Amino acid sequence: MAVAGICVGLLVLVNAFVARPFEVPSESMENTLKPGDRLVVNRLSYAFGAHVQRGDVIVFDGTGSFLPYAEEPSGLRGLLADLGLLPTGDSVFVKRVIGVAGDRVTCSASDGRVRVNGVPLDESAYLAPGDAPSRVAFDIVVPEGKLWVMGDHRSASRDSRDHLGEPGGGTVPEQKVIGRADWVVFPFGRWTSLDRPSGFSAIEGVTGHGHQG
């Protein structure tokens, strides 16, 4: 019994502070991720002062941003949610970070390309085949402590673009990030690491109306 208790305790600690499993719920990140893929979410990626980077695939709680009118869990339910011991339901999302604090992220109707601080973003490595970078024009400066996120399957993704008129303007608070999705571990035939695409190197060190997070 004592051994079982220790094992459960260790599992809770790992799930809460180190790594958390996550099942991809939809096709919004195809072909990078497919529905049913199991991910390992690294909860230490942004610990000790580290910040989310452009190009990262993140798992985050959309309460208050993508779900602006949803209530935060409180009491014991809130504690269990923080520990990752409750089913994620519909409040947890997986998307790719396109812009961080201070970035100006734009897409014009003229060419449909996404630009970060004026630099066209090469998205060929991950954008779903046949998808345009965006069929929605937008122009936003990402506020301090926030992130602009989009799905890789743009025509099937409800992401920051769809929440422009809501509280938060489509951005996601960095504090709501559960962790970085580092690995696909199941099905075994899809085992792979989720590395940051090289296209984001073109905008490294290029800032907009603020600083890079």
195: burial class by Cβ within 10 Å (0-12, 13-18, 19+)?
A: exposed
Direct distance between the N- and C-terminal alpha carbons of the chain, in angstroms, rounded to an integer:
46
95 flagged as catalytic? yes
Given the residues 28, 45, 134, 157, the one annotated as active site: 28
Q: Report the greatest alpha carbon distance in the chain.
A: 66
72: burial class by Cβ within 10 Å (0-12, 13-18, 19+)?
A: exposed
**What span, in angstroms and rounded, lies between the C-alpha atoms of 57 and 194?**
7
Given the residues 45, 65, 91, 95, the one annotated as active site: 95
Catalytic residues, by residue number, are 28, 95
